[in-house]
Structure 1
Amino acid sequence: MSQPVQRIYIDTSVIGGCFDDEFKEWSVKLFEEFKTGNKIAVISDIAIDELRLARAEVRLHIETTPKKNIEFIAKDKEVDELADKYIKEGAITKKFHEDALHIAMATINKVDVLASWNFKHIVNLERIRKYNAVNLKNGYSILEIRNPRDIIHI
């Protein structure tokens, strides 16, 4: 019996990583998995808004993946409320509200993994524990947070 296709929430660092020497190898491999349908890319309206500020090649990169392999999700009141709880509970500061929104989007939409290259505010063991403590306290599931290298199929 085959396993369901993993839904991977990606933030803008993963997309931009395709054009960064340090992260290119692993970001490109993850996008190859999206293109072949081995994984589904989950991208939020928050990430789309952030991409508007990026170089054209980064902005347009998501379009290299077939639409059937991308799930677009939108922020709502529940996302705002959970992001505010991360801040209130000290998982992240208000200055990095956008990062809290990414965590909340991934949590509420029950993705299999959130992928990011943001090691300071997202892929950070201490913060992951705090995000998940808030999630459990508020009736949500634990969120897996990894960098792309850790989740590609080798």
Structure 2
Amino acid sequence: MNQLIFVETSIPSFYFETRSGAAMQARREWTREWWDLAKWQDELVSSLWVIRELEDTPEPKRTECLTLLQDIRLLQYAPEIDVLVDHNIENKIMPADADGDARHLAVATFWKCDILASWNCKHIANANKTDHIRQVNARLGYDTPKLITPYELLGVEP
């Protein structure tokens, strides 16, 4: 099942996670397992804004993350994305940083991605926010991508 999956900043970041806590190690392993499957069976995409965020990451993680994304297509800017960003912020579904989570959601929404993969469970992959996000996007005539973690994408039973 070939799906269009938007990869936001937390995905490459967790792929190269170095923290030793059990939760961090689990996210790293799930991210790697999912990535190794998805890169062959789905179309992974990202954006210049993700690249810009990763460019602020300290070395050597910066180079590792950017290398991981070097072969995936970057979705292009369109003025409608700015409208979605503003709408996301005005409706309080994302923090007021116009180049952060609000932009990732707007890009994935505008380009009709099936999924926005994220480990950001506070603002993006948060089941408590999903209905509100869908309602806000629907007001502008957009469908909302599924907002889920790599763990959920693996389809692993707990």
Counterpart in the other structure of 2:5: 8
Task: Return the offset for 1:89.
Answer: 1.4
What letter matches 2:49 in structure 1?
I
Counterpart in the other structure of 1:138: 140
Q: How does 1:112-123 map to 2 (within 5 A)?
A: 112-123=114-125
Task: Return the offset for 1:152.
Answer: 2.5
Check if 1:23 corresponds to 2:27.
yes
Structure 1 residues 108 and 95 mapped into 2: Cα distance closer, same or farther (>3 Å)?
closer
Number of equivalenced pairs: 148
Q: How does 1:1-154 map to 2 (within 5 A)?
A: 3=1, 5-20=2-17, 21-35=25-39, 37-54=40-57, 55-64=59-68, 67=71, 70-95=72-97, 98-152=100-154
SS across alignment from 1:14: helix
SS across alignment from 1:23: helix
**Identity of matched residues, %:** 28
Q: Provide Cα deviations, 1:18-61, integer angstroms capped at 9, x if missing partner.
A: 122241111101221244x2122111111011110113334334
Contact 2:94 2:123 in 1 (8 A): yes
Which structure 2 residue ranges, 5 or more long, are not aligned? Answer: 18-24
CA distance in 2, matches of 1:75, 1:103: 13
Task: Return the offset for 1:77.
Answer: 1.5
Counterpart in the other structure of 2:22: none
Contact 1:13 1:116 in 2 (8 A): yes
Contact 1:46 1:75 in 2 (8 A): no
CA distance in 2, matches of 1:50, 1:107: 19
CA distance in 1, matches of 2:33, 2:117: 13
Contact 2:12 2:68 in 1 (8 A): no
SS across alignment from 2:52: helix
Which structure 1 residue ranges, 5 or more long, are not aligned? Answer: none
Q: Provide Cα deviations, 1:5-29, integer angstroms capped at 9, x if missing partner.
A: 1111111101111122241111101
